[in-house]
A and B are shown apart, each in its own frame.
Chain A
Amino acid sequence: MEDFLSEFPELSRETLRFIKKGFDASYRAFSREYGDAIEAVFDPVLYFLVWFEKLLQNSPWPIVLICFLAVIYFGSRKISVTIGSLFAFLLIGIFGMWEDTMSTVSIIGVCTMLSIGIGIPVGVLMAKSERAQRICTPILDVMQTMPSFVYLIPVVMLLGIGKIPGLLAVVIYAIPPIIRLTNLGIREVDKEVLEAADAFGANPRQKLFQVQLPLALPTIFAGINQTIMMALAMVVIASMIGVKGLGQPVLKAITNQYFAMGLFNGLAIVALAIIFDRVSQSFGHRIQQHRSGSRE
């Protein structure tokens, strides 16, 4: 009796080992069986990612820089942000991190596109169907709270080390905010406006594209912004499974205690984060211009 109270009654070591071994073995069998097929599914994404990375790295740096600044200016319409970005990129280049930064930008770019491409439709589905919301919410909770190392294990077992597993890890971590905020944005659309759309005979597709999505856009944009930030936060972890970029020198710096190296690359990540954030935020504000001024 005393034993029972002081020690939590647990499964015997034998049984536990059996369960874990069985689980691992069946997953290993699964990945041997389907690993190649699943990898083939991601081939197009891989090609695109590689092409994009090469494009950024192999084009002459002044052209890439000018393109970046153009995107930043037309995204934010702010001279201050553009000039700040110019200095940040120049410093990054001077301190020898241009190549790694291009790798990081390419993977963040692809991850963001994937997250938007998957996240918005899933968010719309969740907003339209209570059942989808009930199913997706706990999955999103797991995706956001499960330590990323844990889901790196099966991904690596399945797909090995490389860009695609890294990409998957980043997307899994970064996609929940855009799904959640798309769902929230659509659910928050004024009921009277929806009723008006109904009264004028709008079908579900017209309602979605002409009323719900446009009105939810500011909230969706907050989600995109969050997604980009979280993707950046994952680059160091992703570098552990072979994703090139600013994460790798950081990792090297941690294991070898190179403080300066870690600091420089860390600051480069911070600079990227600030640029992405400012641009996406002011773009988000600009598409809400109807709230403050008339159309230019």
Chain B
Amino acid sequence: MSEIKIQIKNLYKIFGKNPKSALEQVKDGVNKDELLEKHNHVLGLKNINLDIKEKSIQVVMGLSGSGKSTLIRHINRLIEPTDGSVVVDSEDVLKMNDENLRNFRRTKTAMVFQRFALLPHKTVLENTMFGLHIQNTDEKEANTRARRWIDRVGLSGYEEKYPQHLSGGMQQRVGLARALTNDGEILLMDEAFSALDPLIRKDMQDILLELQDELHKTVVFITHDLDEALKIGDRIAILKDGIMDQEGIPADILLSPKTQYVKDFVEDVNRARVIKAKHIMSELNGQDRDNAMFVDQDDFIDRFIDKVISDKPSCLIVKNKSNDEIGYLSTKRLSEILKR
């Protein structure tokens, strides 16, 4: 498999006057409510372990107050942890001095914010060049690079406008262009699409996926929306009250939720759109090919379900990209998956 890009280990964050002593309490098993009531400290994150693979989209999902925005800010150290480590490309972010940290932020990461956080006194073009200006990049080069990304996110012609004159969706395109112009390997997106209308949100998700197909960045994406998480996440981590409930590929989270919280979360999801044939197939053992139907391993259930109903095959044979048969799927199993 691909390399691990970001490694978060035993990460704790406690907000309050004396987090170090509160940390002892938390490690001794004091829970969030008790910590707040008796010690007047807020538990932000508790023992988070997360390996984020290179060139993948890692979604961190949770409701407000679950600590997801706190978690993403540890990756570029906008927030100092109380305990634990964050390693990016085998370098400990928490051990960097100010200068190294600034260089790390300038070259390795770029961030997109929920409420855009654009500079109101700068034009779209100047906003997009912001990261490069900070790095003192040559003006001409900065200009070319910024214009290219403005074009890529579909904002050509708006270069000289100010953010106030753009709609939310367009402002966030500027936010995205600003982050992409920086050309870091890591893209941190903090509820980047949450403030947008549903239709525009869908647009932006498509833009992100399309760009990711060619850019292959390591994306950490924070959201509170399960549909969004399932749509764009290669892997999903679910956070509740600062604790990671479950982490895995979308299908695993749907099919075998580990806690009641996750179960409640995934209950109403349209599984046919999330689960691929390869997620639910079993090993081949001499299935009859006569009345079988062949499906691609990466097909979602809703791609072939209509055909299953009309053709009534005896079973489904799953094939991989090079056309080898790698598993089978009984119609009974299929209906069980969809019924639940």
Contacts and interface: CB of A to CB of B under 8 A. Distances in A.
Interface residues of B, number: 34
A211 B121 CA distance: 9
A294 interface: yes
A201 B165 contact: no
B224 interface: no
Contacts of A192: 113, 115, 117
Interface stretch (B23-31, B37-45, B127-135): B127-135
A293 to B, nearest CB: 8
A265 B161 CA distance: 48
A76 to B, nearest CB: 20
Contacts of A188: none
Interface string B77-106: 010000000000000000000000111111
B131 A195 contact: no
Contact of B105 (A200, A210, A291): A200
Contacts of B206: none
B102 A196 contact: no
A200 B78 contact: no
Contacts of B109: 199
A291 B182 contact: no
Contacts of A242: none
Interface in A33-80: none
B133 A203 contact: no
A20 interface: no
Main secondary structure of the interface of A (DSSP, over half): helix
A192 B111 CA distance: 12
B119 A195 contact: no
A290 B120 contact: yes
Interface of B: 76, 78, 101-107, 109-111, 113, 115, 117-123, 130-131, 133-135, 160-162, 164-165, 178, 182, 188
A215 B103 contact: no
Given A192-B117, A291-B120, A200 B182 contact: yes
Contacts of B117: 190, 192-193, 195-196
A294 B111 contact: no
Given A195-B78, A291-B164, A295-B162, A200 B110 contact: yes
Contacts of B182: 200
Interface in A196-245: 196-203, 206, 210-211, 214-215, 217
A199 B162 contact: no
A201 B103 contact: yes
B277 to A, nearest CB: 40
B135 A201 contact: yes
B78 A201 contact: no
Contacts of B113: 192, 195-196
Nearest to B115: A192
B134 A193 contact: no
Given A290-B162, A295-B162, A201 B105 contact: yes
Nearest to A195: B78
Given A217-B121, A290-B123, 15 more contacts: A192-B117, A193-B119, A195-B117, A196-B118, A198-B105, A199-B110, A200-B105, A201-B134, A202-B102, A202-B134, A210-B119, A211-B119, A214-B121, A215-B120, A294-B160
For the residues of B in contact with A, the DSSP-based class is mixed
Nearest to A288: B121
A290 B134 CA distance: 22
Contacts of B104: 201
B115 A295 contact: no
A210 B129 CA distance: 12
A200 B164 contact: no
A192 B121 CA distance: 15
23 contacts: A190-B117, A192-B113, A192-B115, A193-B118, A193-B120, A195-B113, A196-B113, A196-B117, A197-B130, A198-B105, A199-B105, A199-B110, A200-B110, A200-B178, A201-B101, A201-B104, A201-B134, A201-B135, A203-B102, A290-B162, A291-B164, A294-B162, A295-B162
B123 A295 contact: yes
Contacts of B102: 201-203
Contacts of A195: 78, 113, 117
A196 B106 contact: no
A211 to B, nearest CB: 7
A195 to B, nearest CB: 6
Contacts of A202: 102, 134
A291 B162 CA distance: 8
A197 B119 CA distance: 9
Given A199-B109, A200-B105, A214-B121, A290 B164 contact: yes
Contacts of B119: 193, 210-211, 214-215
A210 B160 contact: no
Given A192-B115, A211-B119, A215-B120, A199 B76 contact: yes
Nearest to A192: B117
